[in-house]
DNA sequence: CTGGATCCCGAATGATACTG
DNA sequence: CAGTATCATTCGGGATCCAG
């Protein structure tokens, strides 16, 4: 998931930073608070540890996510959204979530909606 | 750019609908008003007519964009954002644009910013 | 030993060039 | 413009390595 050398506008840059099969859902899950790699792996259906690590690494590089390593036993690492970029991008994702829910409603797919889709205030 | 059969949450669905190298910038350009294929091709740096058509077709299928054909001479077609989904997704893109501009500022790349990047009120 | 992180490689998908 | 070929990128499996 390399960034381009040149972008026509900043919007494209950010879009590239959060694109990929798993990035949006990782960020979305992270809105609920800091958590460990293994918890993320459990919460995000279908993802493998490897994909998770790859995408987390990029999100960290770009500044949306940060991690804290607790030394001791057992080894523990926590991933969380950054104050600035992390929380800002959440706003954009919230809008997308909203559009998505409306879209499913209009197309008679409300049944696809479960509790885990609901936007918390 | 196929959609998946299943999504964990609506957000992912929408993200998939606007992913692709050219879709964000097409929507972004369309915020300025309805326009023709050739004008879009001119305004969007580096895009080919083929890519433009392919991506516009998808955006129309999903409901972000619509087109109106004016019969008569010369034949004229206009593409524009839909009232509902088109304008809603713009809000998300505006946030990304905002984050992108800040990002470039912080990293001393203000020079990358030209007038065409500015967000109109 | 456990949880976290990286590497290699084939398969699938996207972007672009080329052609009629 | 549509169809196809080609090239680049991403996805995902599995082995492997590192650190407490």
A89 located within any domain: yes
List the A23 CA – D15 C1' distance (angstroms): 25
- Cα–Cα distance for residue pair A75/A58, rounded to 1 Å: 22
Q: Which residues of B touch A10 (CB under 8 A)?
A: 96-97, 99-101, 103-104, 112-113, 117
A92 located within any domain: yes
For A106, the domain range is 10-116
Confidence of residue A21 (pLDDT cuts 50, 70, 90): very high
CATH for B103: 1.10.10.10
B72 located within any domain: yes
Q: What is the mean pLDDT of chain A?
A: 91
Give pLDDT tens digits for B39-78: 999 999 999 999 999 999 999 999 999 999 988 777 889 9
Return phi, psi of residue B69, to 5°: -100, 125
- Measured CA distances, B32 to A39, B11, B80, B94 (Å): 44, 25, 9, 13
- Cα–Cα distance for residue pair A23/B15, rounded to 1 Å: 10
- Predicted confidence at residue A30, as pLDDT, reads 96
- In A1-121, which ranges are continuous DSSP H helix? 10-17, 23-30, 37-43, 49-62, 85-106
Confidence of residue B114 (pLDDT cuts 50, 70, 90): low
- Measured CA distances, A10 to A3, A18, B55 (Å): 12, 13, 20
Number of structural domains in chain A: 1
């Amino acid at each position: 998931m390399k960034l381009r050398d040149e972008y026509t506008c900043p919007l494209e840059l950010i879009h590239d930073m959060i694109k990929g099969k798993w990035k949006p859902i990782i960020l979305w899950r992270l809105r609920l608070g800091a958590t460990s790699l293994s918890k993320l792996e459990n919460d995000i259906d279908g993802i493998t540890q490897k994909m998770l690590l790859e995408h987390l690494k990029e999100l960290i590089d770009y500044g949306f996510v940060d991690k804290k390593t607790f030394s001791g036993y057992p080894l523990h690492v926590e991933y969380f959204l950054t104050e600035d970029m992390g929380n800002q991008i959440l706003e954009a994702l919230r809008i997308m979530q909203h559009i998505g829910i409306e879209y499913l409603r209009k197309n008679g797919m409300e049944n696809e909606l479960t509790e885990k889709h609901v936007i918390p205030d």
